[in-house]
Chains A and B, each alone.
Chain A
Amino acid sequence: MSRFSVKENRANRLEEALLEQIEQTAAERDELTAGEIESLDPEEFETVPYSAEGAERIGYSNYSYWRSTLRMFLKNRLAVAMLIVIVLLMGFAIVQAYLPGQGTRGLTEGILPAQGPQNAIRIYNWPDGTKDAGLPMKNQRPSGAFWFGTNAIGQDLWSMIWSGTRTSLIIGFAVALIEAVVGTFTGLLWGYIRKLDFFFTELYNVLNNIPTTIVLILCTYVMRASIPTLILAMSLTGWMGLARFIRNQVLMIRDRDFNLASRCLGTPTDRIIVKNLIPQMVSVIMLRMALAVPGAIGWEVFLSYIGLGLSVDTPSLGNLVNTGRAMISAPRLRYQLIFPAVILSVITICFYLVGNAFADAADPRNHL
């Protein structure tokens, strides 16, 4: 920075002016004249005895990480709204199976299309006396009896979609959980035990470079697609990223100054982890978990698209969207595509926004 810099000079002058101003104001306020001191009532004061520990105590701000995070999150009203939507959606998805007949009250209970999968949705036939008695009620538009209409084989689309939401969410959460647990555990190992570093780094490079598409397709082709198979295939590819991040964080424990400082002061290691490390990590773990759910659903849609997804018996959002696509050339039947697509989009949007909002809120740099 040169003496001749116009900017610097101006900045210096500004600084001086500011400092002057501050001193003035301070000078004006805090001083009590001698007379005012005399008139103070001794009873309002308490004598504080000397205490050795008291002299050593260091002042600290009343900062709680979690409370700040929560406060920041709640400030974001959109995120809160989305969170409420998700909770309601998930709650309804779980409860829906146990609610008595929604709309389909009054119709004779349909027949199960196949044995085995617990989520199989019943097929409804036209009752006796109608034109097509005994045949399934195919492709009915939404009506009082079928709130979302029926699909091509006569199943109630309302039940199909909620069952599908359950399945997709189960897959998504399972994948997210496995990723989080396995990723964190591996990451910790990777970071702490120096000898494993080379092995894990190589493993990371290998796994990272095999395109996810290939792994997913091969897995679902060799083992038949079912809920456990899909969960397995999707988790295989996701945990490495989180593990790597955790490992970086662990490495940084050793190096950060404030951690060194903590250790110097005698803070035990677990407190270091809890107070220093976890806040950094949790936000990212939560973000990754929140994004893993719509990610898993997206992969599932892809797999259904290429024909390797869950069988049509087990409804899932991917299945439903894919089956609905075939109906696109018949405008009257487009509802079969629109309903699942809307639900899927809502879920993805919500998770995405909530996840991002939480990550923003949990970032210590954003506090205050």
Chain B
Amino acid sequence: MKKWIAILLSASMLAAMLAGCNGGGKQGVGGSGRELAPEQVYRTLYSSESSTLNYLYSTTEVDMSTGVNGTMTLYSSDHYGILQPNGATGYEVSDDGLTWTFHIREGQRWYDYQGNDKGPVTAHDWVAALRWCIEAANDSGNSDSCFPIKNAEAYYNQTSAVLSGQTPATSLTLEDVGVRAEDDYTLVFELEHATPYFLSILEFGSYFATSQACLDEFGERFATDNEYMWYCGPYIMDQFEPQEIHHYVKNENWWNADHVYITEIESKYNAEAGTLQPTMFLQGEVNETGVSADLLSEWQNDPEKAKMITTTRVQTNYSYFWGFNFEPRVTDTDHNDEINAKWTIAVNNENFRKSIFHGMDRKRALGVSYPTNADELMINSLVPPGFVAHNGRDYTEYGNLAALMKDDYFDENKAKEYRDKAMEEMRPLLQAKGYDFPIEIVTQYNGSSDWGQECMVIKQQLETLLGSDYITVTILNFGSSGFLAGTRRCGNYCIQKLNGGADYMDPETWTFITEPGNNYCFAYDTMEKYEVNTKTAETLAIADEFFTMQDAAKAERLDIDRRYELFADAEAFYIDHAMMIPYRCTGGGYVATTLDPFESPYSSCGWTYLSYVNQHIYTTAMSQEMFDARLTEWEKERAAAGKAAGK
């Protein structure tokens, strides 16, 4: 008997092996010409654990991943960056732009982490989400994305006052806030002002569907663990062990489940992910890895590995620029007073700023971290090109900004011209205070060796071009602990590489960097706070005119073309007076991946890029040739799709 069992077993094993060999062959071919992997399971490492799964509360990428994949937004970006219906099937806007009515998709259900049906998804779920976020006691980090809604900010301030024991100025109730469900499948938003970009805000945390029943059942424990939340999106998180693993399975009942190809996502935690991931990728244990600059040269020398490295797409939701500090309060040298006094004179002199503006070879500096694709990353404006467009016309093609996009600002002759003028104008001012050239430019960095090197390259280049009797650059390493608080926010620098990110798809989202009261460059009247004015009348005049232009742009809410034009003009004005030096946007780093990045959802801002919808796993890694080919293809398709969608 045993003999027969043994024969049977071995026979079936053999059969299975053969079947595997034959069946596992042709699974299908993806857009890059690569074969699909037989097992569509996505494996990866993460090195920073989420502090909570509550997508209503949190604003960090790690935490939001669960929300993006687990619930639905009303609209979400597809892989061309165009907003497509998701939880909603359509919407209407009233003529005055104040009322938005969404029709909710019917037939969607909530499931718990084990896949048990928990009820239908209705319009009330989005109301519940919003109401949770504006309740100050919930301490939501997403409360500010609710503020375009009528009375939302007022309600938040009211509950906030109650919390700190003061008497509130208003006495609103939740019904006064401009969000309601007219019936189970009709959702209405009432806005404070006409907000043309409202649709793009819907990709943020406070607009993720959340069932009130779920909130009631779990109360304070809501979303502290995967068991304490419900799912209606493309994936269900069936396993969550902090510092161990995040595990998702495909939700077959999602309306668009046909376009979800990855059936399982296994994300393991490892604090050393940076060190270990490349090795694990080579062994096939994970499906993608970042490739640091040091590893890059190693891998490029190996013929096998060189085929696995690609760059990544440029992303437009983050912008870097070199800021001139108008409120110098340098404290980290042994001659701070001299530096601050001289810098105050220098930064207020437009010719000085322009000499640096035209004297900095930004491409060269970018070459430090991006040896092959510096061109793609460099931008000439604060708002990156490709961030937002209207009717196919990119924001940077509007107004006076279009002219600035053409050439690199780097111009040796112009720089020297401005330098000579500046020296003439500034010398008497300096000597009046008992100082003289060279101006010492203090710049700080946070200890990252790439950044340090960038500073060095710029230092060398500027000093060589303009002469070290004009300027000298002092590079200080502040360290990473408390960097922003210790350098930028308190004015402890002269020029520094600064950055900021977008919150919604409209130029207004970038104004927090330049508006009065900002903690970036302080180009506004700070007399109230500091009692000493470090800006000349000339500078303040420029700033004031800029603020007027910006305010006019913000006020224009109905005519998008005009709105963009006004914003573009304001920005061009700012850059023309060399108040800042635009630098680059993000992306462009090196990775090795067995996915196709062009299949993943793409958006200028919001969290949709964390979604795993529409992506396949392939058997081999993508090569740079494949990437370049796909990029051109994708850009064409995207432009066409954009026109078709009327954006």
| Residues in A lying within 8 Å of B, measured CB to CB | 111, 113-117, 123, 135-136, 138-139, 152-153, 221, 224-225, 307-308, 311-313, 325-330, 332-333
Contact = CB atoms under 8 A, between A and B. Distances in A.
A102 B213 CA distance: 73
Given A153-B449, A326-B294, A330-B295, A313 B481 contact: no
Contact of A332 (B275, B298, B367, B455): B298
A30 B407 CA distance: 114
B298 A333 contact: yes
Most buried by A among B279, B294, B298: B294
Contact of A136 (B274, B453, B476, B478): B453
A114 B477 contact: yes
A329 B290 CA distance: 13
B243 interface: no
Contact of B449 (A152, A307, A332, A333): A152
Contact of A152 (B274, B294, B482): B294
Give 8 nearest A-B pairs by CB, closest first.
A330-B298, A114-B475, A313-B477, A311-B479, A329-B279, A115-B474, A153-B449, A114-B477
Contact of A115 (B294, B475, B480): B475
20 contacts: A111-B459, A113-B456, A114-B452, A114-B476, A115-B474, A115-B476, A116-B333, A135-B367, A139-B297, A153-B449, A153-B452, A225-B479, A307-B480, A313-B447, A326-B274, A326-B292, A327-B294, A328-B275, A329-B295, A330-B298
Interface in B419-465: 447, 449, 452-453, 455-456, 459-460
A224 B294 CA distance: 28
B138 to A, nearest CB: 29
Contacts of B478: 224
A112 to B, nearest CB: 8
B479 A224 contact: yes
Contacts, number: 73
Contacts of A325: 275
A70 B474 CA distance: 53
A123 B456 contact: yes
B479 A152 contact: no
Contacts of A312: 447, 449, 452, 477
Contacts of A313: 447, 452, 477
Nearest to B472: A115
Contacts of B293: 152
Nearest to A325: B275
Contacts of B359: none
B278 interface: yes
Contacts of B453: 113, 123, 136, 153
Contacts of A111: 456, 459-460
A312 B447 CA distance: 7
Interface string B298-323: 10000000000000000000000000
Most buried by A among B275, B276, B453, B478: B453
Interface in B159-182: none
A123 B459 CA distance: 13
Contacts of B477: 113-114, 116-117, 311-313
A328 B447 CA distance: 21
A332 B293 CA distance: 14
A111 B460 CA distance: 9
A224 B298 contact: no
B481 A308 contact: yes
Contacts of A153: 449, 452-453
Contacts of B479: 224-225, 311
